Amino acid sequence: MKIFVALALFACLGSLAQAVDNEYCQNTVITACSSSAFSGKSNSICNARFAGIDHIEPEIQSYINANLAKSYDYLLLATHFNSYQKNRPGFQKLYQGLSDRSFEDSIALIKQVTRRGGIVDFNTRHESSGSVSTKRGTLEVDELHSLALALDTEKQLATGATHVHSRATHATDAERDPELAHYFEENFLGKQAESVRKLSGYANDLAKLMKVPDPSLSVYLFDEYLQKQ
């Protein structure tokens, strides 16, 4: 009887040691880094994933999708004001710049996710309470309403960046990711706040200038001002 108990205890200890060994890449590196491990389906821990990337990756994926969608919206606005009917090169310059910035932010985030061992899957949609809405309304608007639309968009992107930062900072120990929180703080929070401030100023200034019987000259002068920015 004692022999069977000893054998069972030995087996349990062996299984526990195996589990502990599997927590470290050095103990599984031969099998983990074999050719079959690079198929993208390996659950090996010999990768670049650490801290809370598993929990925050879906939130970043959602923010990437939002930036790409908003980049396209801004591009449509820029095209609208670049037509011969509207002929507002200042507004075209403003929205083209915002479109380029949102696209570049998407590329930077894709690089950041892959640097941390993640995979960006554009076929997967993740929605949460802090996700940025990608619903598109009409974009053929006048100058003042376009500024209001852009301001709403920038506030959504700022809120989305704050949500990701908050998830990375205030989560549980297993889900917390200071490196990603620092990345968003350095590259998004301040920049988005400045963009919201600038567009809110533009919207208020143009609204005041248009309080005249014929605001066409005011809009023309404001467009000239935007060209010089």
Residues in the annotated binding site for Fe cation? 154, 192
What does the block give as tokens for 75? 């591009």
What does the block give as tokens for 214? 């014929």
Q: Residue 152, SS3?
A: helix
Residues near 137 by beta carbon (within 8 Å), at least 6 away in sequence: 149
Under 8 Å between Cβ of 94 and 229: yes
DSSP letters of 159-225? HHHHHHHHHHHSS-TTT--HHHHHHHIIIIIHHHHHHHHHHHHHHHHHHHHT-SS-THHHHHHHHHH
What does the block give as tokens for 34? 């074999």
CA distance 46 to 27: 10
